[in-house]
Amino acid sequence: MKIQNYINGEWKEPSTGQFAPVINPATGETIAEVAMSGPNDIDEAVQAAKEAQKQWALVPAPKRAEILYKVGMLLKERKEQLARMLTMEMGKVIEEARGEVQEGIDMAFYMAGEGRRLFGDTTPSELKDKFAMSVRVPVGVVGIITPWNFPIAIATWKSFPAIVAGNAVVWKPAPETPIMAQELARIFEEAGLPPGVFHVVHGDGPTVGNALVEHPDVKVISFTGSNEVGRMIAEKCGRLLKKVSLEMGGKNAVIVMDDADLTLAVDGIIWSAFGTSGQRCTACSRVIVHERVKQELERRLLEAVKTLKIGNGLDETVKVGPVIHEEALQKIDRYVRIGVEEGAKLLIGGHRLREGDYARGFYYAPTIFTDVTPNMRIAREEIFGPVVSIISVRSLDEAIAVNNSVDYGLSSAIFTRDVNNVFRAMRDLDTGIVYVNAGTTGAEIHLPFGGTKGTGNGHRDSGVAALDVFTEWRSIYVDFSGKLQRAQIDTDD
């Protein structure tokens, strides 16, 4: 399969004529080839998007929403087929792939509903015979840059609100996972989206991603990915005075208090730490446990990890799939060595899996460190693999302080039966998302999604908050007094 760009409603070869292999991380096999475009392809897409957006913005929002509704129906019809392709290109287990496609379906129906709202405000004027209101207006051409770990969901979080609000979109997906991008473009086309409103340009970050960021006709960049790249993009957008929304890394913790239901806590930790092989931005990579239950929690976690079946995610019985590629495996392994050198104690795992069926794919054993201190690098830096660090504390105050001590602020969780602990955690944990008696993953699409501190720059994906990224506010004053009324001056007093 040759994956081309989708520009102005047509499938096109990249101007460079170059393609790169797409590898199934479970088997090491090449399953497709993806276009490696150049800046010219971005320019062509942006010019077409700029033209198309003028008409698209004039289509009534409820009509725009009807197309999104059809997109949702098509995603629903093809859920199983899409999930299987997703597992093959990204590696997550099939059950999670189905969940990811479902996120896209949910977002389509939710944002289709927004087409009949897109609320602005009306408010009284300070003057007589004058009307005041504010409305949302589209920004124009939106540039979207996404990572490989959620190849379809993240694109739907960004493109659906952008499109319902009247923008045109140019999307640069991660080169590791272009198949979902191709399928989403096909679905938009079948749903009747006019050509030019949605484009996909494939390629690498420094060439194609950068061309999108620097293009003068792209008015907003919505980026999800690593801190390193996000920071670079933000610097460029700062210079260009371009609006930029960043969703980046995490170092998420589960707090387990001494009154917690340990069975539930173990389920939550295993799901959050080893689901998607730890390659979620919301993955649990720290367990902050009260010293009174540390030993028992460790015993139960070890038992649970030993039952996890690792392998090709297309097998319904597999619970942990491969990681994305060799480079990721090496990074994970490097961090495990760092943890050992720092004096953390390896409870289980800590090595690649190379035997038998594992030989051709990219597999890492689920890994647990204990006796980790909050200042160790494995407790502070994003590893993005199936590695979790256990840190022991003596009180809720200490647990909250340890949780908040990292540079990231995406997600946190607490297991406790004490309502006072719950409300203190809700108030004092400094992350964008807080879970009570659940793991660190499991966001629903109608709530804002994103993080504080090094995880983001104050914007949110999902929920109504997403519309703030893709719209400008316009304040409108209508004076029907028939005379000049000067604000702040011609008041009665």
Rounded alpha-carbon distances, angstroms, from residue 491 to 127, 382, 485: 6, 57, 8
Specify whether the CB–CB gap between 451 and 408 falls below 8 A.
yes
Closest CB to ligand NAD among residues 204, 315: 204
From the number of C-beta atoms within 10 Å of its C-beta (0-12, 13-18, 19+), residue 153 rates as buried
Q: What residues act catalytically?
A: 247
What are residue 20's phi and psi, to 5 degrees? Answer: -130, 155
Least spacing, CB of residue 197 vs ligand NAD, in Å: 21
Name residues contacting ligand NAD, limited to 233-252 (CB under 6 A).
233, 247-250
Regarding 149 and contact with ligand NAD (CB under 6 A), the answer is: yes
The minimum distance between CB 139 and ligand NAD, in angstroms, equals: 19
Given the complex with ligand NAD, which of 171 and 369 has the nearer CB atom? Answer: 171
Return the amino acid letter for 452. Answer: T
Judged by beta carbon, residue 109 or residue 157, the one nearer ligand NAD is 157
Looking at the Cβ atoms of 110 and 150, the one nearer to ligand NAD is 150
> Contact between 5 and ligand NAD (CB under 6 A)?
no
CA–CA gap between residue 456 and residue 298 (Å, rounded): 32
Of the candidate spans 113-121, 218-226, 343-351, 474-482, the one that interacts with ligand NAD by CB under 6 A turns out to be 218-226
Stretch that binds ligand NAD, among 65-73, 124-132, 202-210, 347-355 (CB under 6 A): 202-210
257 close to 424: Cβ distance less than 8 angstroms: no
Instruction: Give the bridge partners for 286, in sequence order.
Output: 253, 389
Among candidates 426, 331, 436, 348, which has minimal Cα distance to 389? 348
- What would the x/- binding string for ligand NAD be over residues 253 to 282, using CB under 6 A? ----------------------------x-
| Closer residue to ligand NAD (CB): 146 or 403 | 146
Six token digits for residue 394: 């003596």
Give, as ranges, the residues between 276 and 335 that touch ligand NAD (CB under 6 A): 281
What is the number of other CB atoms lying within 10 angstroms of the CB of residue 492?
A: 5
Percent of the chain as helix, strand, coil, to the nearest 5: 40, 25, 35
E strands within 323-381? 345-348, 352-353, 363-364, 367-370
Pick one of 27, 125, 134, 226: the residue that binds ligand NAD (CB under 6 A): 226
Give 52 or 141: the residue with its C-beta nearer to ligand NAD: 141
CA distance 294 to 257: 9
Residue nearest to ligand NAD (CB): 205
User: Which residues ranging from 374 to 403 are in contact with ligand NAD (CB under 6 A)?
Assistant: 382, 384
Nearer to ligand NAD, 146 or 431 (CB): 146
206 binds ligand NAD, rule: CB under 6 A:
yes
Examine residue 457 and tell whether it contacts ligand NAD (CB under 6 A): no
Instruction: Determine if 3 is a binding residue for ligand NAD (CB under 6 A).
Output: no
What are all long-range contacts of 188-193, with beta carbons under 8 Å and residues at least 24 apart?
188/67, 188/71, 189/9, 190/70, 190/74, 191/67, 191/68, 191/70, 191/71, 191/74, 192/67, 192/70, 193/67, 193/71, 193/163
Q: Which of 39, 104, 225, 366 contacts ligand NAD by CB under 6 A?
A: 225
- Is residue 203 a contact partner of residue 37, using CB atoms and an 8 Å limit? yes
Site for ligand NAD in 21-60 (CB under 6 A): none
Q: Which residues bind ligand NAD (CB under 6 A)?
A: 145-150, 172, 174, 204-206, 209-210, 213, 224-226, 229, 232-233, 247-250, 281, 382, 384, 410, 451, 455
